[in-house]
Structure 1
Amino acid sequence: MSGPNPNPPQNALRLHRDLDRIWGRPEGLRGWIMTVNHSDLGLRFMIAAFVFFAIAGCLAMLIRAQLATPDGAFLDTAHYNQIFTMHGSLMMFLFAIPMLEGLGMYLLPKMLGSRDLAFPRLSALGWWCYLFGGLIILAALVAGVAPDGGWFMYTPLSSKTYSPGINADVWLLGVTFVEISALAAAIEITVTILRMRAPGMKLTQMPLFAWYMLGTAAMMLVGFPPLILASVLLEIERAFGWPFFDVTRGGDPLLWQHLFWLFGHPEVYIIFLPAAGAISTILPVMCRTQIMGYSAIVAAVLGLVFLSFGLWVHHMFTTGIPHMALAFFSAASALVAVPTAVQIFAWTGTMWKGRPQMHLPMLHLMGFFSTFVMGGLTGVMLAIVPFNWQAHDTAFVTAHLHYVLIGGFVFPMMAAAVYWMPLFSGRQAIRGLGTMAFWLILIGFHGTFFIMHLTGLLGMPRRIDVYPDNLEWLWPNLVSSFFSFIMAAGFALFVLDLLLQMLFGPKARRDPWQAGTLEWGMATPAPAYNIASQPLPGQSAVQIARGEGLLPGAPRKRRETLVVDAISGAPRHVAVLPGNSALPIVTAAAIGVFVLLMLAGLYGLAAAALMAVAATTWSWQRFMGSTHDEGPLNVAPGLSLPVNHAVPDGLARTGLTCLLIANAALYACFLFAVGFLSVIAPSWPAPASSIATLPAGVLTGILCLTLAGTCGLARLPQAQGAKHSLFLMLTALVVIAALVPLLDDPTRHARDALRAAGLGYVALHCVIGLLLALVCMVQRLDGRIGEGRESAWPVWRIWQDYTLATTLILVLLVTLQEALQ
């Protein structure tokens, strides 16, 4: 494995042609719908994110036009509320996150020496969920029923009492729909980085961009579930009257703030980290040197990932939390500046030891430094409690947010777009236009938001549409509005520059920036399969293209790529990836129908739509595994590896582990909600429960024993207990159905709603466990599980262990709650 293949394929042209036929997509609309290739999907994410960014920017111009004069005759209050809510929601959920998803999906396999992401159909499902969810939200804006409670949807303003229409439901259901895409991308990115690197690439040898994306994906797995839980609970309250946030029935609006900001503050670093990864990749190339402080930067990334989850309360300093908590979260908010400063100093040192060349990507990086550092300084100011009390909910906070997000994300993303455009399009930039766009954006941005700091210090609150009694705000607002249109012109010119480059730019040579990194070692634009063979350490791009690495070509006429050990990078087995499929778009459409039926209030039909989602998901298993014995595959002279469905530690198991991390984060937030309401909510203790203790205790014991029995059967080899486990899972669902009538009315009090929600959580996992058991039984019958063929059996085993553990925790919690009542 230390050297090139001594017998490379004789016909390299035929090798590339075969690979293109296997990994490419069909022509026309059918291919566009069915493709699961990471390059196609990554580009789609980025292009769609740019479109949503343009729409959100137009809404921002409407806001600035409204605020340019004190009377604000441009918009009425109702439309203004919808516009500023949609501006924030589009920027946060439909631009920033999808943009980083698209960049990671496109670049990571190329940087890591792989041919695709770990789960191509999951990537396609994420794309269609993102597209359909975004279209639903935009359709609501066109129809005049867009969300209007601010992009953070605070309760009770967003409750049914104060928002009786479907405006809030559009946000809750639409954003949750879009977040399916975010979680899918997080799983894809994590598994790809850990298991699909080039053979021999240790974890400590990865490109820094991969480290940044790994930290981002980990934060998404833990950071998005709190918002998903909050959205689900509020939608259940609005639809069915379960009082999770209603203070008169045991709920508390502050619970929404805690859950939202458990997502909302890590979200800032989720957005920043991929941009910082682009900086760490582009900057040394522009400076003609190596990055300074690789290990320190990795440590800073891990520190940011850890610290970002301890800051959420600094958005709630004015809610009356105890002084000890104020001190703790203030100190944590200031401490998070340390790992950020480490990266800034490493980048500054890289520029100092190198010779910066002021190409257009470097100009955008200079825009980042001049903007983000100012945003970081105002962030430290807001971390100090007395100052926060004065500036909270003013235009100062709005200015700080834009300095951090535009400075920390948009400028690096523009640098990334210019830097990797030859890889995307195969064409070089046209000189001049991009530089003009940069200066218009930089001048317009600082003219808009630097002045906004002063407007906030003058006392102007956020989210107001008129200010006739405060004429001292007129000139700052007028100046900000003037410069905002200069900034908008700069962004329009930037997009025009990219379009002209794609259409009329000169053909780009390979590695036009002389970066020497792996993604530039392939043709431009990159082919669907990325590389003809997977690289060994020290191999040149020519050797890889001739097929002298591992797993050359496509001799078995299917999509194959290597899976490696997560730490050492040693090859473990060969993954056979699925080809183009219509299943992702069908599944996303079924989920979209469910969302639309929920918005229409047709809850019975929505339940039927969930059955359709289950049916389409069931169809995915038909393409899992193999019905015949398949020995080790020859991937290079002297090296043979097993196929993924023949090993217990395949990609599916790693992917399920990531999914369960997100699931456990959601469950932990649910337990937090139970504890928070039990201790903090004013309408506690709850009314006396009318649950019949003995029947409920007996049924609960049977449920736990049944799930324990399935966990025992899961230890049998080769799905021998599949039939019995299927029977036990059906028994568990019958027991849950018998428990439902014993519960108190969930609309009576938050305690009863939480118990019903907890039982629903267990029931959902039992239904999924039943489907997985059925999959295992079917796969055993048709030969996909057997001697040397694991397929779905290890996945079901892990799922059952998790279901039993969460059920036992819920039972113990309810028992403790009853004892303390």
Structure 2
Amino acid sequence: MTAELSIPTPTTEEDNVVHHHRRWQDYFTFSSDHKVIGIQYFVTGFIFYIIGGLLAEGIRTELATPDPDFVDPATYNSMFTMHGTIMIFLWIVPAGTGAFANYLLPLMIGARDMAFPKLNAVAFWIIPPTGLLLIASFFLGPAQAGWTSYPPLSLLTGKVGEGIWIMSLLLLGTSSILGGINFFTTILKMRVPSMSMMQMPLFCWAMLATSALMLIATPVLAGALILLSFDLLAGTSFFNPTGGGEPVVYQHMFWFYSHPAVYIMVLPFFGVISEVIPVHCRKPVFGYGAIAYSSMAISFLGLIVWAHHMFTSGTPPWLRMFFMITTMVIAVPTGIKIFGWLATMWGGKITLNTPMLFAMGFISTFVIGGITGVMLAAVPFDIHVHDTYFVVAHLHYVLFGGSVFGIYTGIYHWFPKVTGRHINDTWGKIHFVLTYIGFNVTFLPMHILGLQGMPRRIAMYAPEFQGLNQICTYGSYVLAISTVPFLVNAIWCAYKGEKAGDNPWNALTLEWQTTSPPEIENFEVLPVLTTGPYDYGDTERVEEPPKVFTNV
């Protein structure tokens, strides 16, 4: 497959408009343009993010007091199940592997589109009806077994809601596999001839590692869910202990996917941070090869750490030792990335604009999540805090402190490329401050709650935990409010913001070498690499610091 495709030459002014500009109606159609699909992924995912966030606020409101005075325990279980499922499978995964990868990959490697454009569109259009089906199940006897859906509990709740939950995840997994095929092929086969593997932007390396995980791990989850549906609807006993089944086998199959899924959710944003920091520090990235290969190392090691979720499930001691060691080892390639980012910032001409603030917020919060992850890798400590709020805090410092901070970093950085306009930097900083404060006030006290022994996934708790829970609830309200200035800023500036040039950050990767927003087929002629993606400091042009825009 070659990256060189012919571009139709317009013969009239009307033809030029048709072929080089998108209409707003195109974003509601079955489009095969990767840029349209990327925006469709993001807008759809953000809508589900708001829904999942409202469920989170309901959960935190219930947990403000020890008694079930906001919702009853059964409704709490349903809200908890839907919140986790929506945030993971309908927000973070579509935003990272769907929105950013679809929009940026072809532009970064000089391609006209993805390798399989129609398959790309199919992968997206699976998601909206599946998400609506999942939400509809909330009103039809919703699933109540949590986002992990462990049997035998999942076999004892409502069959309708649990069946819809299983079907929804199977469809979302299918979308993920289709996307992984497309990303993998596009990166390997669609690069411009002048771009070698070691000249790719680091985001491409991150997505290569992510795609491998999607293709290897997702079918295992599909197999587990199909067998679980047989137990639920056909009366088999694959995982049902009353018929001789083994629930722990489900846990192995579930976590063989769901721990790599953590890296599916985080690796794309490792790539985003690797793109943003060199641009806004005006300095070559430190350790390009180490950061690139560390993504592949995380992808490999991510497949052999799953049983650290099961240290209390009767795992033999020798097997516990193996998974404890591999879980600790996976911190090494992650540490290499963080060292590379900090070394890139050291001595650079740092511009403290909104994308850079969110990038630094990403590093600081993800490091806390990483440290607690190494703590949880130790078998004695994990047994002590298993199924407590310490694990809840760790999970959110990795996935919100990592993935969501990464999403916001990417939005503020590439907003001028996508819209052709600048987003207001002052309101962006307000958004960052509210998000950073709200996030840490919400989740930092949960470490203490966990060490004190408060169990997770329950609506009622001992009264001595109320004080810290109220702090967490107030923090969650601040975190919810932080979304408002972002939405107003983004929507307003997309239409009324100051117009951006093609390359307002003076960046060197190929997506900044075309128009903003890009034309339909990305480039008038296929670009030829004349510099590396992070060769800042070589000429007067690239030493100019990035601009900060504050006018609405």
Whether TM exceeds 0.5 here: the answer is yes
Q: Give yes or no for the alignment of 1:86 onto 2:94.
A: no
Pairing partner for 1:298 from 292, 302, 311: 292
Aligned-residue offset at 1:200: 2.2
Distance 2:277 2:25 in 1: 39
Q: Give yes or no for the alignment of 1:43 onto 2:39.
A: yes
Distance 1:309 1:460 in 2: 30
Aligned to 2:487: 495
Aligned-residue offset at 1:250: 3.6
Aligned-residue offset at 1:431: 3.4
Distance 1:517 1:437 in 2: 27
Aligned to 2:537: none
Matches within 5 A, 1:652-731: none
Q: Give yes or no for the alignment of 1:450 onto 2:444.
A: yes
Aligned to 2:225: 231
- Whether the 8 Å CA contact 1:19–1:529 is kept in 2: the answer is no
Structure 2 counterpart of 1:123, one-letter code: N
Matches within 5 A, 1:596-675: none
Q: Give yes or no for the alignment of 1:350 onto 2:344.
A: yes
Aligned to 2:430: 436
Distance 2:531 2:291 in 1: 27
Q: Deviations over 1:728-748 (max 9, x none)?
A: xxxxxxxxxxxxxxxxxxxxx
Distance 1:343 1:137 in 2: 36
- Whether the 8 Å CA contact 2:353–2:425 is kept in 1: the answer is no
Q: Deviations over 1:519-546 (max 9, x none)?
A: 0111111111111121233399xxxxxx
Structure 1 counterpart of 2:136, one-letter code: A
Distance 2:386 2:361 in 1: 27
Q: Give yes or no for the alignment of 1:472 onto 2:469.
A: no
Q: Give yes or no for the alignment of 1:98 onto 2:98.
A: no
Pairing partner for 1:257 from 251, 255, 269: 251
Aligned to 2:129: 132
Pairing partner for 1:145 from 141, 161, 175: 141
Pairing partner for 2:68 from 72, 92, 98: 72
Aligned to 1:52: 48
Aligned to 1:110: 107
Structure 1 counterpart of 2:122, one-letter code: L
Aligned to 2:527: 535
Percent identity of paired positions between Structure 1 and Structure 2? 40
Q: Give yes or no for the alignment of 1:274 onto 2:268.
A: yes
Distance 2:11 2:42 in 1: 32
Distance 1:193 1:73 in 2: 52
SS in structure 2 opposite 1:324?
helix
- Whether the 8 Å CA contact 2:435–2:482 is kept in 1: the answer is yes
Aligned to 1:169: 163
Distance 2:24 2:348 in 1: 47
Aligned-residue offset at 1:14: 5.3
Q: Give yes or no for the alignment of 1:404 onto 2:403.
A: no
Residue ranges of structure 2 left out of the alignment (5+ in a row): 1-6, 533-552
Q: 1:16 to 1:450 in 2, by over 3 A?
A: farther
Pairing partner for 1:63 from 59, 62, 68: 59
Q: 1:390 to 1:15 in 2, by over 3 A?
A: farther
Pairing partner for 1:120 from 112, 117, 120: 117
Distance 2:522 2:190 in 1: 14
Distance 2:247 2:278 in 1: 48
Q: Give yes or no for the alignment of 1:337 onto 2:335.
A: no
Aligned-residue offset at 1:222: 0.7
Matches within 5 A, 1:179-578: 179-467=173-461, 470-538=462-530
Aligned-residue offset at 1:19: 7.5
- Whether the 8 Å CA contact 1:23–1:37 is kept in 2: the answer is no
Residue ranges of structure 1 left out of the alignment (5+ in a row): 1-8, 541-821
Distance 2:117 2:111 in 1: 13
Distance 1:125 1:247 in 2: 39
Distance 1:269 1:35 in 2: 29
SS in structure 2 opposite 1:34?
coil
Aligned residues: 526
Q: Deviations over 1:554-580 (max 9, x none)?
A: xxxxxxxxxxxxxxxxxxxxxxxxxxx
- Whether the 8 Å CA contact 1:430–1:500 is kept in 2: the answer is no
SS in structure 1 opposite 2:29?
helix
Aligned-residue offset at 1:417: 0.3
Distance 2:390 2:350 in 1: 34
- Whether the 8 Å CA contact 2:514–2:522 is kept in 1: the answer is yes
Aligned-residue offset at 1:31: 8.0
Aligned-residue offset at 1:264: 0.8
Distance 2:392 2:184 in 1: 33
Distance 1:451 1:72 in 2: 21
Q: 1:357 to 1:12 in 2, by over 3 A?
A: farther
- Whether the 8 Å CA contact 1:176–1:231 is kept in 2: the answer is yes
Aligned-residue offset at 1:294: 0.6
Aligned-residue offset at 1:146: 2.5
Aligned-residue offset at 1:247: 2.5
Q: 1:145 to 1:199 in 2, by over 3 A?
A: same
Structure 1 counterpart of 2:487, one-letter code: V
SS in structure 2 opposite 1:525?
coil
Structure 1 vs Structure 2 CA RMSD: 2.1
Aligned-residue offset at 1:164: 3.9
Distance 2:531 2:352 in 1: 31
Structure 1 counterpart of 2:238, one-letter code: F
Distance 2:330 2:377 in 1: 10
Aligned-residue offset at 1:354: 1.5
TM-score normalised by L of structure 1: 0.62
- Whether the 8 Å CA contact 1:15–1:532 is kept in 2: the answer is no
Aligned-residue offset at 1:22: 5.6
SS in structure 2 opposite 1:369?
helix
Q: 1:19 to 1:222 in 2, by over 3 A?
A: farther
Structure 2 counterpart of 1:406, one-letter code: F
Distance 1:41 1:226 in 2: 27
- Whether the 8 Å CA contact 1:261–1:313 is kept in 2: the answer is yes
Structure 2 counterpart of 1:521, one-letter code: Q
Q: 1:466 to 1:249 in 2, by over 3 A?
A: closer
Aligned-residue offset at 1:23: 7.7
Q: 1:539 to 1:486 in 2, by over 3 A?
A: closer
Matches within 5 A, 1:2-21: 21=18
SS in structure 2 opposite 1:158?
helix
Aligned-residue offset at 1:16: 9.9
Q: 1:476 to 1:32 in 2, by over 3 A?
A: closer
- Whether the 8 Å CA contact 1:20–1:528 is kept in 2: the answer is no
Structure 2 counterpart of 1:525, one-letter code: P
Q: 1:232 to 1:517 in 2, by over 3 A?
A: same
Higher CA-based Rg: 1
Aligned to 1:735: none
- Whether the 8 Å CA contact 2:142–2:158 is kept in 1: the answer is no
SS in structure 2 opposite 1:262?
helix
Q: 1:395 to 1:274 in 2, by over 3 A?
A: same
Aligned-residue offset at 1:102: 1.4
- Whether the 8 Å CA contact 1:199–1:535 is kept in 2: the answer is no
Aligned-residue offset at 1:18: 6.0
